[in-house]
Amino acid sequence: MVAQSDGNAKPVTDFEKFVDILKKCGQDVVIDADLTTIERAQLDAFSCYLHHNLDAILVRFAFALPLQPVLSGEEEEEGGENVGRKNDTEILKDAFMALNTLSTKLGDNKFFCGNKPTSLDALVFGYLAPLLRVPLPNDRLQVQLSACPNLVRFVETVSSIYLPLSEDELKRQQSNRKMWQSRISKAKADKEAAKTTEETAEALPDEPPMRDAILFTIGALALSLVFAIHTGLIQVSVEEEIAE
Amino acid sequence: MNAAQDWEDVSLFTPYLNDQALMYDFAECLAVQTFLRMTSLPFNVRQRPNVDFISPDGVIPLLKINKTLITGFNAIVDFVHKKGVTLTSHLSETQVADMRANISMIEHLLTTVEMYVLWKHDETYEKVTKPRFGSVFHWPLSSVLPFLKRRKILEELADKDWDSKTMDEVGEQADKVFRALSAQLGTQKYLTGELPTEADALLFGHLYTLITVRLPLTNITNILKKYTNLIEFTKRVEQQYFKQ
């Protein structure tokens, strides 16, 4: 996210910083003002929790199969690096746990800190809405999210209050849905096809490259020679010719 | 993971705590020890120079029960939980959610701050990190391995967009963590009231490390010292679990 704070200032690209600036700019914006310190502390803790458990999944699935045509290859690579250290199962497990934790935390409340919206609500909405609305090839997370009715209700509430859609947009959404459905099924078919080609590819093991073998032989020979000289198996004597 | 085994012959493998372990590893090892002491489960601590190679996934500390190996604070807590020993039975579900968020904040944000200080700050790296990390290896490994590790950690920091942060910004992040935890602790004995939980164990591990560590750079410790209730908390836990 990029927000221009004053025209001459540099862009702000971080949700937390953005909230900070809004708080400081002292206009009519009131965010998180009437929270107790403990609530504010929990807010910080939760925003950190969300970043660490859900960033990976959004990157992973947003940059995965069906969206590929939309996003350039460069972005995809960058995204891939960020989550390279975790595998898919771990990411999913983390995300499942995060959803459960959020669901528990929300309980029957309208917002996370009772009846008033806070910056945490905005952040959670930012994470959950795409998970709920954007069609993904892997729908396990969506299934899991639908299993937490209070989170689904939360997303509906926030979007109906703060991001109401006009009729035109609704219509467009309907027509887009068909396109997405076909895209998903196409992606699934592609995936299947990729799998079968992969399997056939695996059946034919590559021959080890010749260059590696030669390098290995040279290395091994050199090492044994050094060893032999070192232990005295081969003795080298240098005879100097005496100059006249 | 086999949770049906009996709790006997349990060893906790850690690096040499006094000479080798880096700040965040030390903190994690201490946290696991504190957690196990809180649950009153018996265990031995064994210090080995090569724990990160013993550990199947490179995560330390390592808990060994008969033939089962469990690595890392969270996994150990989960395992103990599966054995039916838990420190959170007195908490409501919402409190458990809060606790998870706190653990995540300590584990990710605070650890990243510690990593940044140890590997990114040149003086600290030369004077503390490199000698400690290389202490168990002979030359030339004692300089090659820290160099490789540093490159890896700096890449990780770059993935999190932390490489462009200044020391002051990192200090702000640390301050955010301490402020949140200090507010939740308030005047209570532990984070969630009268009884300790795993979040307290983890918090103690990190705070104790930050208070006792000697670094060329003292800004993080100075920030921590502003929060007197956190310092008191650390002293209290040390008194209760480590001075008997």
Which residues are bridge partners to A3 per DSSP? A12
User: A87 versus A183: which is more confidently predicted?
Assistant: A183
A17: closest CA of chain B, how far (Å): 11
Q: Which of B77, B92, B94 to mutate to test the interface with A (most CBs of A within 10 A)?
A: B94
Q: State both tokens at A229.
A: 């000289």
> What's the rounded Cα separation, in Å, for the pair A71 and A62?
9
Which residues of chain A does B93 touch, with a Cβ-Cβ cutoff of 8 Å? Answer: 104
Which residues are bridge partners to B68 per DSSP? B65
Q: Does domain A52-178 have CATH number 2.40.50?
A: no
Per-residue pLDDT, averaged over B118-122, amounts to 90
Q: What's CA A203's distance to the chain center, in Å?
A: 32
pLDDT in tens, B85-114: 888 888 888 888 889 889 988 988 899 999
A106: closest CA of chain B, how far (Å): 8
Q: What is the three-class DSSP state of B45?
A: strand
Per-residue pLDDT, averaged over A50-71, amounts to 63
Q: How many CB atoms lie within 10 A of CB A150?
A: 15
Per-residue pLDDT, averaged over A114-131, amounts to 83
For helices B93-104 and A37-62, the axis angle rounded to 10 degrees is: 70
pLDDT in tens, A38-60: 888 888 888 888 888 887 777 76
Asked if B156's CB is within 8 angstroms of A37's CB, the reply is no
pLDDT in tens, B14-43: 999 888 889 999 999 999 999 999 998 889
Instruction: Give residue A29's pLDDT.
Output: 59
DSSP label at residue A166 = P
Nearest CA in chain B to A14: B161
Asked if B102's CB is within 8 angstroms of A45's CB, the reply is yes
User: B70 versus B2: which is more confidently predicted?
Assistant: B70
Please tell me which of the candidates B109, B179, B182 has its beta carbon nearest to residue A48. B109
CB-based contact B190:B236 (threshold 8 Å): no
Q: Does domain B93-242 have CATH number 2.40.50.100?
A: no
CATH number for the segment(s) B10-82? 3.40.30.10
Asked if A42's CB is within 8 angstroms of B94's CB, the reply is no
Please tell me which of the candidates A38, A52, A81 has its beta carbon nearest to residue B183. A38
- Looking at chain A, the whole-number percentage of residues with pLDDT higher than 90 is 7
Q: What is the three-class DSSP state of B73?
A: helix
Nearest to A126 by CA among A71, A50, A187: A50
Q: State both tokens at B216.
A: 């060329």
Asked if B102's CB is within 8 angstroms of A44's CB, the reply is no
Domain ranges, ordered by start, for chain A: 52-178
Prediction pTM value: 0.76
Asked if A104's CB is within 8 angstroms of B93's CB, the reply is yes
pLDDT at A5 over 80: no
pLDDT in tens, B154-186: 998 988 888 888 888 899 889 989 998 998 898
pLDDT at A143 over 60: yes
Domain with CATH 1.20.1050.10 in chain B: 93-242
Which residues of chain B does A55 touch, with a Cβ-Cβ cutoff of 8 Å? Answer: none
pLDDT at B46 over 70: yes
Name which of A109-113, B59-63, B156-160 the model is least confident about.
Answer: A109-113
Domain with CATH 3.40.30.10 in chain B: 10-82
Instruction: Give residue A81's pLDDT.
Output: 43
